[in-house]
Chain A
Amino acid sequence: MFKLLVVEDDRELNKTVCTYLGQNGYDALGCLGADEAYDAMYGGEVFDLIISDIMMPGTDGFEFAKTVRELDEDIPILFMTARDDFASKQRGFRAGIDDYMVKPVDLDELLLRIEALLRRSKIAHARRIEIGSLILDADEHTAYVDGEEVPLTVREFNIVYKLLSYPKKTFTRSQLMDEFWDGDTTSGLRTVDVYITKLRSKFAGCEDFEIVTVHGLGYKAVLK
């Protein structure tokens, strides 16, 4: 069972979030401030994910996130805050958070995001994705279907790895490209289409996922 830490100074909100997470199979611990959270974290408990508010008495969320990030590079941190201005988001992500939600938070959406963050953190941790007969290994940049290696170029591998890290999420061409091409737009966004065509034919034998085109906007990987 995943252990989550909820840092939120409003008692009622903290309680409802923790209860809801509890109802959905997570073990959530509520803390009313950063100091309490530090105590909980270094009292020996290991958490899989942190949900934190920004505006709290004493240490604020930015500071808290920064401190946590300095001590633990991998733990996913999600900000849940009333502040919806870009500056706060920027400050948050620079402090090392992984996701940002604006209050009032839709609890179902919170669950989806936690799930995605945890999956992502697991993938980041293991550096490999296993879906049915398919195995992608990020260290070796290799893909196996039914134990047989599928020859991929580095770019092809990066695209399919990204798509499968977030199944069902649609990426625009430039989102798929940006990460690996260093903004080299001269190659044109249509190059991505070429890579996708190649990937589709290379993985034609794999029954576990397919790459779907979304209205000319981008691509997503759908698991079967």
Chain B
Amino acid sequence: MKQVRWLYLLRRYLLFFAIVTFVISCSMMLFLNTVTRATGIEFTEEYVSDAAKATAVNILLLSALLTVIDALRRYFFVTRPVRRIVKAAEQMASGDFSTRVPEMYGIDGFDEIARCFNALAEELSGTETLRTDFIANVSHELKTPLAVIQNYGTMLQKPGLSEEKRIEYAKAVTDASRRLASLITNILKLNKLENQKIFPAGERYDLGEQLSECLLGFEEAWEAKNLDMEIELAEDVCATADRELLSLVWNNLFSNAIKFTDEGGKVSITLTADAEWAVVCVSDTGCGMSPEVGRHIFEKFYQGDSSRATQGNGLGLALVKRVIDLTGAEINVTSQPGVGSTFTVRLRREADGEV
């Protein structure tokens, strides 16, 4: 390694030497020729031999000086920034995502690389936090119902249990396993959606009909809660999309609206359309949420209610968002704590405006 460096240095030195020699020889010859022509003085060997030797030494020294300056330039403007970036990259490779490359002002090219690198590190550390959070959340959500099942299972084995207790325990086991099942279904669905690369081409179908069919699935739920349902669906509004995927969106939005609205509250669903968009609004008079919560609800496992008292697993809206992104639709939410929330989904209609 050392030897290679010396050879490298020698090469640079020879290169500089050659350049300097060439430049000086050329200028000398040009100069002396002009002098000879003007004055008629012939420069014989005796005249110039001393000066020539001095010039040769000068050239040697000048080349050495240039080599040193070049080496220094290289060190400060190439080797050091490269070393810093390499060091940061190595740290990141070993899993430390907090590392950043120090700012390098005015070093052309490298300052830009450093900036990009830091942006990359920022992004990666964000993803990494999400991933760790995701795993932590999944294990929490999976283990809680499992623990419940295990505990009640143990308690059920106790001899001489009263009939009342037995039913209570068994019911708890059933509820927990139901929760677990819906969680696993959602995780699998989300995973499939996130990894799936090819999606079937959308088909054209009646959106109002699909909304009606999805809504009817909740008939029992809204009757049990005695909700005032206000449903207004425009007729003959068609959408071109993957029918199955979109039904995920409606089912999740309806289920949330009904879930978060207290008994006797009001849920309204409207479908309207203009030339460009089909708009589905789902409003409830439920607990609502603060703007801060509203910003995060589409994230996995985010639950506005941090006590996790309300049923659900925090994946429904993440699924919705994923489908919305895949279909090229838009979703937004407006909400006021204590008043209610409104989710608005906008689907682009056929470009040719055909109804």
Point out the residue from B185, B209, B229 that lies within 8 Å of A215, measured CB to CB: B229
Given A170-B216, A170-B219, also A216-B233 (CB < 8 A): yes
Question: B178: which A residues are within 8 A, CB to CB?
Answer: 104, 106
In the complex, the chain A residue whose C-beta lies closest to that of B180 is A104
**Which A73-108 residues have C-beta < 8 A from chain B?**
84, 86, 102, 104, 106
In the complex, the chain B residue whose C-beta lies closest to that of A170 is B216
Nearest chain B CB to A190 CB, angstrom units: 8
**Which A183-213 residues have C-beta < 8 A from chain B?**
189
Q: How many Å lie between the Cα of A93 and that of B178 in the bound state?
A: 26
B185 touches A214 (CB 8 A): no
Q: How many Å lie between the Cα of A173 and that of B216 in the bound state?
A: 12
A1 at the interface (CB under 8 A from B): no
CB-defined A-B contacts under 8 Å, sample of 26: A84-B185, A102-B185, A104-B177, A104-B178, A104-B181, A106-B178, A170-B219, A172-B209, A172-B212, A172-B213, A172-B216, A173-B212, A174-B206, A175-B213, A189-B235, A214-B219, A215-B229, A215-B231, A216-B232, A216-B233, A217-B212, A217-B215, A217-B216, A217-B231, A217-B233, A218-B216
Number of interface residues of B (CB under 8 A): 17
In the complex, the chain B residue whose C-beta lies closest to that of A104 is B181
What are the nearest 7 A-B pairs in CB distance?
Answer: A172-B212, A104-B181, A217-B212, A170-B216, A215-B231, A215-B229, A174-B209
Most buried by B among A86, A170, A217: A217
Nearest chain A CB to B238 CB, angstrom units: 11
Question: A104: which B residues are within 8 A, CB to CB?
Answer: 177-178, 181
B244 at the interface (CB under 8 A from A): yes
In the complex, the chain A residue whose C-beta lies closest to that of B222 is A215
Q: How many Å lie between the Cα of A49 and that of B177 in the bound state?
A: 27
Q: How many Å lie between the Cα of A175 and that of B213 in the bound state?
A: 9
Question: A170: which B residues are within 8 A, CB to CB?
Answer: 216, 219
Total A-B contacts with CB atoms under 8 angstroms apart: 33
Nearest chain B CB to A160 CB, angstrom units: 19
In the complex, the chain B residue whose C-beta lies closest to that of A172 is B212
In the complex, the chain A residue whose C-beta lies closest to that of B200 is A86
B244 touches A86 (CB 8 A): yes
Number of interface residues of A (CB under 8 A): 16
Residues of chain A whose beta carbon lies under 8 Å from any beta carbon of chain B: 84, 86, 102, 104, 106, 170, 172-175, 189, 214-218
Nearest chain B CB to A10 CB, angstrom units: 15
Q: How many Å lie between the Cα of A174 and that of B215 in the bound state?
A: 14
Given A170-B219, A174-B206, also A218-B212 (CB < 8 A): yes
Most buried by B among A172, A189, A216, A218: A172
Nearest chain B CB to A168 CB, angstrom units: 9
Q: How many Å lie between the Cα of A216 and that of B206 in the bound state?
A: 16
**Which B71-129 residues have C-beta < 8 A from chain A?**
none
Question: A174: which B residues are within 8 A, CB to CB?
Answer: 206, 209
Question: A86: which B residues are within 8 A, CB to CB?
Answer: 244
Q: How many Å lie between the Cα of A139 and that of B219 in the bound state?
A: 33
Question: B206: which A residues are within 8 A, CB to CB?
Answer: 174
Question: A172: which B residues are within 8 A, CB to CB?
Answer: 209, 212-213, 216
Nearest chain B CB to A51 CB, angstrom units: 19
Q: How many Å lie between the Cα of A175 and that of B206 in the bound state?
A: 12
A214 touches B232 (CB 8 A): no
Q: How many Å lie between the Cα of A189 and that of B209 in the bound state?
A: 10
Interface string of B209-230 (1 = CB under 8 A from A): 1001101100100000000010
Question: A175: which B residues are within 8 A, CB to CB?
Answer: 213
Q: How many Å lie between the Cα of A84 and that of B189 in the bound state?
A: 10
Q: How many Å lie between the Cα of A20 and that of B209 in the bound state?
A: 36
Question: B235: which A residues are within 8 A, CB to CB?
Answer: 189
In the complex, the chain B residue whose C-beta lies closest to that of A217 is B212
Interface string of B192-212 (1 = CB under 8 A from A): 000000000000001001001
Q: How many Å lie between the Cα of A183 and that of B244 in the bound state?
A: 21
Question: A218: which B residues are within 8 A, CB to CB?
Answer: 212, 216
Nearest chain B CB to A50 CB, angstrom units: 24
Point out the residue from B177, B181, B216, B244 that lies within 8 Å of A214, measured CB to CB: B216
